[in-house]
Amino acid sequence: MRIDVVSLFPEFIAQCAGFGVVGRAQERALLSLHGWNPRDYAEGGYRRVDDRPFGGGPGMVMMIEPLQACLAATRAADPVVGPVIYLTPQGTPLTQAKVRQLAALPRLILLCGRYEGVDERLVAAEVDEEISIGDYVLSGGELGAAVVIDAVARLQEGALNDAESAIQDSFESDGLLDCPHYTHPASHALGEVPAVLRSGDHAAIARWRRQQALGRTWLRRPDLLDEASLSKADRALLEAFRRDSLPPSGEGGA
Protein backbone atom coordinates (compact mmCIF):
# COMPACT_ATOMS: atom_id res chain seq x y z
CA MET A 1 0.00 0.00 0.00
CA ARG A 2 0.95 3.63 -0.43
CA ILE A 3 0.97 6.08 2.50
CA ASP A 4 1.49 9.82 2.00
CA VAL A 5 2.23 11.94 5.05
CA VAL A 6 1.62 15.70 5.02
CA SER A 7 3.76 17.15 7.81
CA LEU A 8 6.04 20.04 8.67
CA PHE A 9 8.51 17.33 9.76
CA PRO A 10 8.43 14.64 7.05
CA GLU A 11 11.93 13.43 8.00
CA PHE A 12 10.61 12.50 11.44
CA ILE A 13 8.17 10.04 9.86
CA ALA A 14 10.81 8.61 7.53
CA GLN A 15 13.10 8.00 10.53
CA CYS A 16 10.35 6.37 12.58
CA ALA A 17 9.41 4.01 9.76
CA GLY A 18 12.95 2.89 8.97
CA PHE A 19 13.32 0.14 11.59
CA GLY A 20 12.04 -3.34 12.36
CA VAL A 21 8.85 -4.65 10.81
CA VAL A 22 7.96 -1.34 9.12
CA GLY A 23 11.43 -0.89 7.65
CA ARG A 24 11.27 -4.46 6.35
CA ALA A 25 7.81 -3.85 4.84
CA GLN A 26 9.30 -0.93 2.91
CA GLU A 27 12.30 -3.00 1.77
CA ARG A 28 9.89 -5.70 0.56
CA ALA A 29 7.87 -3.02 -1.31
CA LEU A 30 4.74 -3.89 0.70
CA LEU A 31 4.64 -0.28 1.83
CA SER A 32 5.70 2.89 0.03
CA LEU A 33 5.94 6.01 2.19
CA HIS A 34 6.01 9.56 0.84
CA GLY A 35 6.50 12.74 2.86
CA TRP A 36 5.06 16.10 1.84
CA ASN A 37 5.92 19.40 3.51
CA PRO A 38 3.23 22.13 3.38
CA ARG A 39 6.03 24.69 3.75
CA ASP A 40 7.12 23.79 0.21
CA TYR A 41 3.69 25.00 -0.97
CA ALA A 42 3.64 28.25 1.06
CA GLU A 43 3.82 31.65 -0.61
CA GLY A 44 6.29 34.48 0.03
CA GLY A 45 9.82 34.72 1.29
CA TYR A 46 8.85 33.59 4.77
CA ARG A 47 7.02 30.47 3.54
CA ARG A 48 4.45 31.05 6.22
CA VAL A 49 2.21 28.08 7.15
CA ASP A 50 0.50 29.35 10.33
CA ASP A 51 -1.22 32.48 11.61
CA ARG A 52 -2.94 33.84 14.73
CA PRO A 53 -6.40 32.51 15.60
CA PHE A 54 -9.50 34.61 14.91
CA GLY A 55 -11.16 35.39 18.22
CA GLY A 56 -7.81 35.74 19.95
CA GLY A 57 -6.11 33.42 22.38
CA PRO A 58 -2.75 31.69 22.52
CA GLY A 59 -1.12 29.60 19.84
CA MET A 60 -1.19 29.52 16.07
CA VAL A 61 -3.43 27.83 13.51
CA MET A 62 -2.26 26.14 10.31
CA MET A 63 -3.45 28.12 7.28
CA ILE A 64 -5.70 26.78 4.52
CA GLU A 65 -3.68 27.67 1.43
CA PRO A 66 -0.37 25.82 1.96
CA LEU A 67 -2.20 22.71 3.16
CA GLN A 68 -4.65 22.77 0.27
CA ALA A 69 -1.86 23.15 -2.31
CA CYS A 70 0.18 20.44 -0.59
CA LEU A 71 -2.78 18.03 -0.49
CA ALA A 72 -3.51 18.72 -4.19
CA ALA A 73 0.10 17.86 -5.11
CA THR A 74 -0.06 14.76 -2.93
CA ARG A 75 -3.23 13.49 -4.60
CA ALA A 76 -1.88 14.29 -8.07
CA ALA A 77 1.27 12.21 -7.46
CA ASP A 78 -0.67 8.95 -7.90
CA PRO A 79 -4.05 8.10 -9.46
CA VAL A 80 -4.80 5.63 -6.64
CA VAL A 81 -7.47 7.11 -4.35
CA GLY A 82 -7.32 7.01 -0.56
CA PRO A 83 -8.94 8.84 2.37
CA VAL A 84 -7.36 11.92 3.92
CA ILE A 85 -6.99 11.18 7.64
CA TYR A 86 -6.31 14.03 10.05
CA LEU A 87 -4.41 13.01 13.20
CA THR A 88 -5.84 14.99 16.11
CA PRO A 89 -6.80 14.53 19.78
CA GLN A 90 -10.36 15.45 18.66
CA GLY A 91 -10.52 12.33 16.45
CA THR A 92 -12.09 8.92 16.97
CA PRO A 93 -9.80 6.74 19.13
CA LEU A 94 -7.78 4.27 17.04
CA THR A 95 -8.60 0.58 17.58
CA GLN A 96 -7.30 -2.64 16.05
CA ALA A 97 -10.63 -2.94 14.18
CA LYS A 98 -10.00 0.46 12.54
CA VAL A 99 -6.39 -0.55 11.81
CA ARG A 100 -7.68 -3.64 9.96
CA GLN A 101 -9.98 -1.45 7.83
CA LEU A 102 -7.22 1.01 6.95
CA ALA A 103 -4.70 -1.76 6.24
CA ALA A 104 -6.97 -3.13 3.50
CA LEU A 105 -6.97 0.15 1.54
CA PRO A 106 -4.54 0.77 -1.34
CA ARG A 107 -3.67 4.29 -0.15
CA LEU A 108 -3.82 6.56 2.92
CA ILE A 109 -3.08 10.29 3.09
CA LEU A 110 -2.18 11.24 6.67
CA LEU A 111 -2.44 14.90 7.63
CA CYS A 112 -0.43 15.99 10.67
CA GLY A 113 -1.30 19.22 12.44
CA ARG A 114 1.01 21.28 14.63
CA TYR A 115 0.34 24.28 16.85
CA GLU A 116 -3.31 24.64 17.97
CA GLY A 117 -4.48 22.74 14.91
CA VAL A 118 -5.67 23.29 11.35
CA ASP A 119 -8.18 25.87 10.07
CA GLU A 120 -11.53 24.09 10.43
CA ARG A 121 -12.58 25.03 6.86
CA LEU A 122 -9.67 22.94 5.50
CA VAL A 123 -10.74 20.04 7.72
CA ALA A 124 -14.37 20.32 6.53
CA ALA A 125 -13.39 20.50 2.85
CA GLU A 126 -10.51 18.01 2.61
CA VAL A 127 -10.55 15.57 5.51
CA ASP A 128 -12.44 12.26 5.35
CA GLU A 129 -11.72 11.04 8.84
CA GLU A 130 -10.18 12.27 12.13
CA ILE A 131 -8.24 9.84 14.31
CA SER A 132 -6.75 10.17 17.81
CA ILE A 133 -4.26 7.71 19.33
CA GLY A 134 -5.40 8.25 22.92
CA ASP A 135 -6.64 10.60 25.61
CA TYR A 136 -3.57 12.76 26.05
CA VAL A 137 -2.18 15.75 24.18
CA LEU A 138 0.81 15.53 21.82
CA SER A 139 2.49 18.54 20.26
CA GLY A 140 1.68 17.34 16.75
CA GLY A 141 0.09 14.59 14.70
CA GLU A 142 3.43 13.03 13.61
CA LEU A 143 3.56 10.44 16.39
CA GLY A 144 -0.06 9.54 15.62
CA ALA A 145 0.86 9.08 11.95
CA ALA A 146 3.83 6.91 12.93
CA VAL A 147 1.50 4.76 15.06
CA VAL A 148 -0.97 4.32 12.18
CA ILE A 149 1.87 3.47 9.78
CA ASP A 150 3.31 0.83 12.12
CA ALA A 151 -0.04 -0.79 12.93
CA VAL A 152 -1.08 -0.88 9.26
CA ALA A 153 2.31 -1.97 7.86
CA ARG A 154 2.51 -5.08 10.06
CA LEU A 155 -0.85 -6.26 8.65
CA GLN A 156 0.36 -6.18 5.04
CA GLU A 157 0.58 -9.70 3.63
CA GLY A 158 4.21 -10.86 3.99
CA ALA A 159 5.32 -8.17 6.47
CA LEU A 160 5.55 -10.49 9.49
CA ASN A 161 7.58 -13.65 9.81
CA ASP A 162 5.81 -16.84 10.98
CA ALA A 163 6.40 -16.30 14.71
CA GLU A 164 5.27 -12.67 14.57
CA SER A 165 2.16 -13.69 12.63
CA ALA A 166 1.19 -16.27 15.23
CA ILE A 167 1.37 -13.66 17.98
CA GLN A 168 -0.60 -11.18 15.91
CA ASP A 169 -3.25 -13.83 15.15
CA SER A 170 -3.79 -14.74 18.77
CA PHE A 171 -4.26 -11.12 19.81
CA GLU A 172 -6.52 -10.43 16.86
CA SER A 173 -8.73 -13.44 17.42
CA ASP A 174 -9.50 -13.11 21.10
CA GLY A 175 -9.02 -9.42 21.99
CA LEU A 176 -7.41 -10.34 25.33
CA LEU A 177 -4.14 -9.11 26.82
CA ASP A 178 -1.15 -11.39 26.39
CA CYS A 179 0.04 -13.88 29.04
CA PRO A 180 3.46 -13.43 30.75
CA HIS A 181 6.56 -14.81 29.00
CA TYR A 182 9.79 -16.25 30.46
CA THR A 183 13.16 -17.36 29.11
CA HIS A 184 16.42 -18.73 30.52
CA PRO A 185 17.62 -18.93 33.25
CA ALA A 186 14.84 -20.96 34.90
CA SER A 187 16.13 -19.99 38.31
CA HIS A 188 17.27 -16.45 39.07
CA ALA A 189 17.56 -14.08 42.04
CA LEU A 190 14.48 -12.28 40.61
CA GLY A 191 12.43 -15.49 40.84
CA GLU A 192 11.57 -18.87 39.37
CA VAL A 193 9.89 -19.63 36.06
CA PRO A 194 6.41 -21.09 36.80
CA ALA A 195 6.77 -24.88 37.03
CA VAL A 196 3.97 -25.59 34.54
CA LEU A 197 5.98 -23.95 31.74
CA ARG A 198 8.81 -26.44 32.38
CA SER A 199 6.52 -29.46 32.74
CA GLY A 200 6.42 -30.42 29.05
CA ASP A 201 2.64 -30.86 29.43
CA HIS A 202 1.44 -28.89 26.42
CA ALA A 203 -2.23 -28.99 27.35
CA ALA A 204 -1.48 -27.72 30.86
CA ILE A 205 0.76 -24.98 29.41
CA ALA A 206 -1.95 -23.85 26.98
CA ARG A 207 -4.49 -23.82 29.82
CA TRP A 208 -2.16 -21.80 32.10
CA ARG A 209 -1.44 -19.25 29.35
CA ARG A 210 -5.12 -18.86 28.58
CA GLN A 211 -5.90 -18.39 32.26
CA GLN A 212 -3.16 -15.77 32.66
CA ALA A 213 -4.44 -13.88 29.59
CA LEU A 214 -7.99 -13.93 30.98
CA GLY A 215 -6.85 -12.99 34.49
CA ARG A 216 -4.66 -10.09 33.39
CA THR A 217 -7.38 -8.76 31.15
CA TRP A 218 -9.82 -8.94 34.08
CA LEU A 219 -7.35 -7.12 36.38
CA ARG A 220 -6.06 -4.51 33.96
CA ARG A 221 -8.63 -4.02 31.19
CA PRO A 222 -12.07 -5.22 32.34
CA ASP A 223 -13.54 -3.18 29.44
CA LEU A 224 -11.92 -5.61 26.97
CA LEU A 225 -13.41 -8.58 28.81
CA ASP A 226 -16.91 -7.20 28.25
CA GLU A 227 -16.26 -7.28 24.48
CA ALA A 228 -14.56 -10.68 24.35
CA SER A 229 -16.72 -13.76 23.75
CA LEU A 230 -15.64 -16.28 26.39
CA SER A 231 -16.27 -20.01 26.19
CA LYS A 232 -17.54 -22.03 29.13
CA ALA A 233 -13.98 -23.27 29.70
CA ASP A 234 -12.71 -19.65 29.67
CA ARG A 235 -15.25 -18.69 32.34
CA ALA A 236 -14.16 -21.56 34.54
CA LEU A 237 -10.48 -20.60 34.14
CA LEU A 238 -11.24 -16.97 34.98
CA GLU A 239 -13.36 -17.99 37.99
CA ALA A 240 -10.43 -20.03 39.33
CA PHE A 241 -8.05 -17.11 38.72
CA ARG A 242 -10.39 -14.76 40.60
CA ARG A 243 -10.69 -17.18 43.52
CA ASP A 244 -6.89 -17.49 43.76
CA SER A 245 -6.41 -13.71 43.61
CA LEU A 246 -8.88 -12.97 46.45
CA PRO A 247 -7.58 -12.67 50.02
CA PRO A 248 -8.48 -15.79 52.05
CA SER A 249 -11.84 -15.22 53.75
CA GLY A 250 -12.38 -15.93 57.49
CA GLU A 251 -14.38 -18.85 58.93
CA GLY A 252 -18.13 -18.48 58.45
CA GLY A 253 -17.98 -14.77 57.47
CA ALA A 254 -21.33 -12.95 57.47
Establish if 138 lies at the interface with ligand 6GU (CB under 6 A).
yes
Q: Which residue of the set 164, 169, 178, 192 is catalytic?
A: 169
Shortest-Cβ-distance residue relative to ligand 6GU: 144
Establish if 88 lies at the interface with ligand 6GU (CB under 6 A).
yes
Contact 102, 128 (CB under 8 A): no
- Is 244 labeled as ligand-binding? no
Q: Which residue of the set 39, 78, 89, 174 is catalytic?
A: 89
Contact segment (CB under 6 A) with ligand 6GU among 15-23, 44-52, 71-79, 83-91 equals 83-91
Interface with ligand 6GU (CB under 6 A), residue from 5, 70, 87, 127: 87
Q: Which residue of the set 38, 154, 210, 234 is catalytic?
A: 154
3-state SS record for the chain = CEEEEECCCHHHHHHHCCCHHHHHHHHCCCCEEEEECHHHHCCCCCCCCEECCCCCCCCCEECHHHHHHHHHHHHHCCCCCCCEEEEEEEEEECCHHHHHHHHCCCEEEEEECECCCECHHHHHHHCCEEEECCCCCCCECHHHHHHHHHHHHCCCCCCCCHHHHHHHHHHHHHCCCCCCCCCCCCEECCEECCHHHHCCCHHHHHHHHHHHHHHHHHHHCHHHHHHCCCCHHHHHHHHHHHHHHCCCCCCCCC
CB nearer to ligand 6GU: give 32 or 90: 90
Interface with ligand 6GU (CB under 6 A), residue from 24, 30, 34, 89: 89
CB of 158 to ligand 6GU, least distance (A): 28
Catalytic, 78? Answer no
CB nearer to ligand 6GU: give 132 or 212: 132
The interface mask with ligand 6GU, positions 204-243, x = CB under 6 A, is ----------------------------------------
Residues forming contacts to ligand 6GU in the complex (CB under 6 A) are 87-89, 132-134, 136-138, 140-141, 144
